[in-house]
Amino acid sequence: MKIPFNKPNLIGKETHYIYRAVYSEHKISGNGLFTHKCHEFFEQRYGFKKCLLTTSCTDALEMSAILTDIQLGDEVILPSYTFVSTANAFILRGARLVFADSNESNPNIDANKIEDLITSKTKVIIPVHYAGIACDMDKIMSIAEKHNLFVVEDAAQSIDSYYLPREISKMNDNQFNDRSTISRGKNKPLGSIGHLGAFSFHETKNIISGEGGMLVINDPQFEKRAEIIWEKGTNRAAFFRGEIDKYGWVDIGSSFLPSELVSAFLYAQLESLEEIQKKRLSIWNQYYEGLNPLEEKEYIKLPKIPDYATNNGHIFYIICKSLEERTALIKHLKENNILSAFHYLSLHKSPFYKDKHDGRELPNSDMYENCLLRLPMYYELEKNDVQFILKNINKFYN
């Protein structure tokens, strides 16, 4: 038995909808029937004000950098422990990156460290909701409002995850152990809180389309321009809606919208969202319960979910005590046909940016770089697979 780290899945009508897009709708270049269906799904289910599917989360972030009018020398604050796309999207526009450290208790940006990094050149704060677990958005939005800054949520991993209002977050943690059972009611979907939000539908995410992403526009001032940038700098979308009698080049932009084949695949996944989420949360809880004894013995640390966050079952990770220990555990699992993976390397120490960093040490970011290990997590992972993984992790430590 070999257990991969990730495995893309077909769960519903993916191939049927792709066939329909090609042979029934006569439009596969993008912004057609399935693109509109996906937009409608997100706007109705999560209350997003306006959604635009993109070819990747990277593209959604690049659109955000254009929309927030990043110019040469502007500063953006972001965590060092994140994927390079978070940084690239803004450095491409001439921004200077100001890296913040992670929390001690989870890899998200430490909101208490942000305000000290703000200067007269700061323009954007980019919280990254690692593993679909919310950053402290009350504090971040308060800081942004105080200093007149934009907030772009990197919600790449955050589909179907929520930020809890403070009155709900004060509920007994024992009542909501993994914080996945709280009803959506008054909760704020991640990606809906900042001025802009960016999602990913890469094959490693909960809901997939191979490659794919989405920009969520929460601030009305960006709605019209976002659509123009999305359509290569033209007002073609307005033309197709019959709002103008011809379209032309009116702004900068690029070909950010995905083909209908991608949107068709994505829409089939969205139809199965509840089923996918139920399965992933079941796997997450099985890991947590099976590894809790090792945490009680202080061999490892398990994910900590803040009282203001819910869990969407995107990633299950453990924190080892050292790089050497993690390396040995990866080797042990691989010898038993289990593929695991570490995650990001601290961007402030990267070959490309280390000479541009201001020299501040970011110890928590470096700790996650060296000690965080992700376990297999995908829809087709079965209970006996998880039990086999748990058995081998326990064998390593015991």
Q: How confident is the model over 184-212, as pLDDT tens digits?
A: 446 999 999 999 999 999 999 999 999 99
Regions of the chain where pLDDT drops below 70: 25-26, 166-186
* Strand 317-319 to 372-374 pairing: antiparallel
275-397 is a CATH 3.40.50.720 domain: no
Domain boundaries, the chain: 14-272, 275-397
User: From residue 14, how far is each of 76, 208, 264, 292 by CA, in Å?
Assistant: 38, 11, 7, 37
Ramachandran angles phi, psi of 275, nearest 5°: -65, -45
3-class secondary structure, 158:
coil
Ramachandran angles phi, psi of 193, nearest 5°: -100, -45
Query: Of 191, 289, 227, which Cα lies nearest the Cα of 35?
Result: 227
CATH class given for the domain over 14-272: alpha beta
Tokens of 66: 């254009």
- Per-residue pLDDT, 186: 61
Positions of E strands within the chain: 50-54, 75-79, 96-100, 122-125, 150-154, 162-163, 188-189, 196-200, 213-217, 317-319, 372-374
Q: Is the dihedral of CA 347, 350, 355, 361 positive or negative?
A: positive
Q: Which residue has the tokens 């890991």?
A: 287
Tokens of 282: 């079941």
Q: Is the dihedral of CA 241, 242, 246, 251 positive or negative?
A: negative
